[in-house]
Amino acid sequence: MMRRIHIILSILVLSGFFVAGARADDTSLSVQSAAPDDLEQQIKEKQDTIKRLESQINNYQKSIAEKQKESTSLKNQLGLLDAQISKAELDLQLVTAQIAQLELEIKVLSGEISSKNDRISRQQDLLAGLVRALHQEDKIDYLYILLSEPSFSQFFNQVFYLGELNNQLDQSVRSIEKARDDVQEQHDITARKQELLKNLEVSLEQKRATLDDQKKAREVLLRDTKSSEAKFRTLLAQLRGEFARTDQEILDLNRKLRERLLSHGDVNEQGVLVLSWPIPAIKGISAYFHDSSYPFRYLFEHPGIDLPTKVGTPVAAAAPGVVAWVRTTRFYGNNIMIAHRVNVNTIYAHLSNFNVKEGDYVKRGDIIGYSGGASGMQGAGLSTGAHLHFEVRENGLPVDPMRFLTK
């Protein structure tokens, strides 16, 4: 029996089974398992690329800030757009590199988890066998050992080895439990990286859209001004004059339309006006209210939100109200404005067709027109691509539509 115990302990030591139990910072099962050198090298290269791109983007950001301080001219605006396009291209490269780095890190984690699970499984099998062996030893009581051993020295040695075997097995069980916790931690880290990866993939699409908008904005500016500083100044004056007139016109129309709204009971309704989305935001929002990435922001703030959609998409009234105007202007192109209660108005711009006329009363969800906005299209106004421009005015002034739209 003594010989069998010695054999069991020898197997345990040679297998490395007690190494983890003897040290709290076990490297055979810890979360710090080394990744293959080639993957680690690739990750380092991506990190270096990301640092370089971040530095270049920072330089372009400073250049853009300086250009924004320059006087408003066609030359300066084109220079600003060129800098924004270069920055947008770098932004795209940066997100692409960040995605590649995350994918490599997830690959490393996956390999480590698989390796550790295999090791844990093997050690669990070995542990089960050892427990069975120890159970057989435990069936022999100390009186039997005392009587069967030729000397007290051998008796105490055998009792010591049995106790040591128990202690080591306890430590090994704790080591396996810690290893399971380590693997779970790696699963959690992987899940967080995968969620970040999804967010970066969404960001990548947004960066592509921003770059496309910047390029189209440059084309539109050159087309509409024919590369002439004089025509640029005329265009700028038209746009700024249009916004100023719109503010006052809305206040005047709201006073005139109050009686009409009152006849439908809209004026007397209390509380915040909740607006429905005029079209489904399937493709998201390409430009937000006062969006810092708006390509013409140097000329004027973006007064609404832009919803990308194919030309001809039905546009619905966001709330009940009276159609205040149906017209075509320089910035908005074909556009409709609806007056609602509590001095709130909605504007639907860059339309391809109208489906209502001034003075009509519309209910929430009624189709009032169809989207347009394709560059160069009749009635597109100042637009870089097919979309619906949706704007909310409160007491005549532009406000963030997201405050009113249903979540």
Map out the domains of the chain as residue ranges. Answer: 2-224, 229-403
Is the pLDDT score of 348 beyond 80? yes
Q: In angstroms, rounded to a whole number, what is the distance separating the alpha carbons of residues 120 and 109?
A: 16
State residue 196's pLDDT score: 93
Is the pLDDT score of 136 beyond 90? no
Backbone angles phi, psi at 328, to 5 degrees: -125, 130
Is the pLDDT score of 242 beyond 50? yes
Q: Between 9 and 59, name the one with better pLDDT.
A: 59
Is the pLDDT score of 316 beyond 60? yes
Give the Å distances, CA to CA, from 306 to 84, 280, 353, 405. 19, 12, 18, 14
Least confident span in 28-32, 107-111, 130-134, 341-345: 28-32
CATH number of 229-403: 2.70.70.10
Retrieve residue 6's tokens: 């010695």
Q: In angstroms, rounded to a whole number, what is the distance separating the alpha carbons of residues 246 and 295?
A: 22
Which residues are paired to 328 by β-bridges? 334
State residue 234's pLDDT score: 92
Least confident span in 122-131, 154-163, 389-398: 154-163
CB 224 within 8 A of CB 235: yes
| Segment 266-295 mean pLDDT | 84
Entry pTM:
0.68
CB 312 within 8 A of CB 355: no
Retrieve residue 37's tokens: 């050198």
State residue 177's pLDDT score: 83
Residue listed under structure tokens 């009509």: 360
| Segment 132-141 mean pLDDT | 58
- The candidate with the shortest Cα–Cα distance to 155, out of 164, 145, 163, is 145
Is the pLDDT score of 158 beyond 80? no
Give the Å distances, CA to CA, from 123 to 112, 129, 133, 197, 250. 17, 10, 15, 34, 77
Is the pLDDT score of 143 beyond 70? no
221: which residues sit within 8 A by CB, 6+ positions away?
74, 77, 78, 81, 232
Q: In angstroms, rounded to a whole number, what is the distance separating the alpha carbons of residues 180 and 402?
A: 46
